[in-house]
Amino acid sequence: MATSSDFLTGVIEGFYGTPWTPGERFELFAAMPGWGLNTYLYGPKDDLHHRARWRQTYPPAEAEHLREVIAGCQARGIRFIYALGPGLDIRYSEKGDRLAIQQRFEQLLSLGCRDFCLLFDDIPDQMAPADREHWGSFASAHAGVANEIFRWVRPHAPEGRFIFCPTPYCGRMASRQLGGPNYLATVGRELAPEIEVFWTGPEIISREITVPHLRELQGLLRRKPLLWDNIHANDYDGHRFFCGPYAGRPPEILREVTGILTNPNTEFALNRIPFQTLGAFVRGQGGSWDPRAAYLAAVADWLPKFATTGKPLTAEDLALLGDCYYLPFELGSGAQSLLAQVMHVVSQPPAQWGAAGVELRERVVRLKELCFRLTELVDRSLFAALNRRIWELREEMDLLERFLTHHSDPAQSGQPFQSDFHQARTYRGGLVAQLQRQLVQHADGSFTPRDPADPDSQTARLFLP
């Protein structure tokens, strides 16, 4: 049954970026049971002791914090999983390195942890000669080390879960033989059957995850996978966050996996809708699933966090804002409609805009004003999480408003449009913006150079779904 405690449903703090604060973690734990979430995995990439200093045990102050985090989870019936990522520089044939993993897990056992994970993701796809001679392959080295650590942990935590993340953790990586030929088949054959295996789907960030895809994977792994879902992760894109619903996965996948854990936005305050809708998806136990209805329900529940010192925001306001930052592969309906209207109007001569131009300007002004009202949020941590992204949206709305106003004025007919507030090389400027104009990405994922006849092209690496 999907809602049993055996089915893992919850949150991975596993992103690249500033780890969450103690206060944010405890706020999460307090809310998780109400959302139907039962698992928290600790593995922030920028905790130095998670990857870079994996051979060293935690110093006393950090160990004490982890003890408090573990106790906070257990007090609420939440499973705490500790993840370690030794793959950057581990020597698989060195007994001392395998002992260092045991010592770290021994420290965590003393702090109350009973569930563990070894991550071999995002690491160099190569082995030292001595390691290759000892193990024969990357996959055998990973499976062998994981098995040894699992066998050591098992007597200390017989009811605990033990999880493994392979080097090729999505379909694209596997098809390109990351980790070597037959990596997944080797892991499936050699890894102890009690050890669970993480998987992100066809891609690192998967638009869809289907039952046939998962069943094909089961044939290789000889077990059901545990989903590490990056659908709401944003650590790869500093311009966006994602607060749309859990989507692109049919309810039937609940029978094909041992759990679903989400690796979300780095900004804790922006994850309410992702967490709440994931819980609702799993609680549905494989029945019908309406992502948009779940989204609007979560928006209504999130609205009280958006109290302001000025004019109150409405659920409609918040839904529109969320539509602008919906999911990696789609905008919400309000943002889709706005974008389509912008593309239609600005592609026409101003003389033909008519009522469509007036309506568009009204919509642009409304969204611009909504962005300004967010500066009045009482919850300043929420404002801080939103601020840079919302400022960028506000600037685009301001530019559009000025553009529409300029070309709607008969006195400006034939005059080029410029904005005193969007100076060239400062607005949309910098090295990254310039580099993004050099390669244009198309809908099939391919890249081509920008048109050399257009040296000042503003074409960015963006495409419409």
Sign of CA dihedral 64, 70, 73, 77: negative
CB 311 within 8 A of CB 373: yes
Amino acid 345 reads: V
CB 166 within 8 A of CB 187: yes
Alpha-carbon gap, residue 303 to 301, rounded angstroms: 6
CB 397 within 8 A of CB 373: no
Q: Which residue carries 């049993």 as its tokens?
A: 4
Amino acid 233 reads: A
Three-point CA angle 147, 150, 155, nearest 5°: 140
Which residues touch 65 (CB under 8 Å, ≥6 apart)? 22
CB 359 within 8 A of CB 344: no
Alpha-carbon gap, residue 205 to 191, rounded angstroms: 25
Q: What beta strand segments (E) does 320-428 contain? A: none
Residue 1: which of 260, 278, 262, 258 has the closest Cα?
258
CB 301 within 8 A of CB 270: no
Residue 383: which of 373, 393, 368, 395 has the closest Cα?
373
> How far from 370 is each of 317, 321, 376, CA to CA, in Å?
7, 8, 10
Which residues touch 275 (CB under 8 Å, ≥6 apart)? 11, 28, 31, 32, 35, 37, 262, 264
At 457, list the tokens. Answer: 């092209």
Three-point CA angle 216, 217, 221, nearest 5°: 130
Alpha-carbon gap, residue 3 to 254, rounded angstroms: 10
At 190, list the tokens. Answer: 């050699």
Question: Is there a catalytic annotation at residue 89?
Answer: no
Amino acid 148 reads: E
Spot the catalytic one: 122, 235, 301, 379: 122
Active site residues: 122
